[in-house]
Structure 1
């Protein structure tokens, strides 16, 4: 199973939203970056995912969810009322992907970005690299274990 990290603004979708879903899945949609989309296409059922809260007061890794449905065409790209509508995308040739994910657990504490940047062994994690704005990224098994250990 692969490991991932996804960034989200808690006002849009937080680890608490996943926890409140009580066993149900939430579609992870609206990603409009080609590299992030390509990573989403690699996500498979059972993959574990860190939820990273961004653009908020408390930035950092907040918890873990699991992929419950692998990549499928993002329905929001076809909805003219959606802020994620893409007029160039068609059902026959969709440009964007979504995955469904469900709550696994909150971390014992939020791990802030500054702390992640200081951890040995995370140098290759795109999240800690200057200028990285990807909303979906792979996490190696070693990086995953370092982060879990740091969480306590």
Structure 2
């Protein structure tokens, strides 16, 4: 089992949206970075745990825990011309982008960046690296355990 951190803007899809989804499960779509896509497509597995991270908002931070509930599949938004994630170069035969389904495990208090930066076990976390904008990233066992301890999960 691997651990992940997946970012989403709460104005587009937040932890509350996941909580209100049917069976608290929803597709995680819109990934348009090749490294992030590769993590989802090649390295994530059903049952992996992931932190739900609110980004590009007044108070960014970890807002909950979810699990990867499906294998990676072709992201349907790449074929939808009305979607901001439409990709003219994607075809049914050669889709460029992948999605996974995620299921809510637990909504938590918001764990912000400032608090995370004060935790020694998180000093090497990709999320805290300067200039890191990757929307899907692995989380080490040490980092995962430290965050779970802080959040009481």
TM-score using structure 2 length: 0.94
How far the C-alpha of 1:22 sits from its partner, in A, is 4.9
Structure 1 segments unaligned to the other structure (5+ residues)? none
Instruction: Figure out how many residues of one structure are paired with residues of the other and give that number.
Output: 151
The residue number in structure 1 matching 2:151 is: 151
The residue number in structure 2 matching 1:94 is: 95
How far the C-alpha of 1:24 sits from its partner, in A, is 4.0
SS in structure 1 of the partner of residue 6 of structure 2: strand
1:134 paired with 2:134, answer: yes
CA deviation string 1:64-96 (max 9, x = no partner): 111111111111111111110111111111110
Alignment of 1:1-150 (within 5 A): 1-41=1-41, 42-107=43-108, 109-150=109-150
TM-score using structure 1 length: 0.94
Paired with 1:79 and 1:150, the residues of 2 have a C-alpha distance of 40
Cα RMSD for the two superposed structures: 1.1
Paired with 1:81 and 1:130, the residues of 2 have a C-alpha distance of 34
Paired with 2:66 and 2:24, the residues of 1 have a C-alpha distance of 11
Structure 1 runs, 4 residues or longer, greater than 6 Å off: none
Structure 2 segments unaligned to the other structure (5+ residues)? none
SS in structure 2 of the partner of residue 70 of structure 1: coil
Paired with 2:56 and 2:24, the residues of 1 have a C-alpha distance of 26
Paired with 1:37 and 1:124, the residues of 2 have a C-alpha distance of 22
Paired with 1:114 and 1:37, the residues of 2 have a C-alpha distance of 28
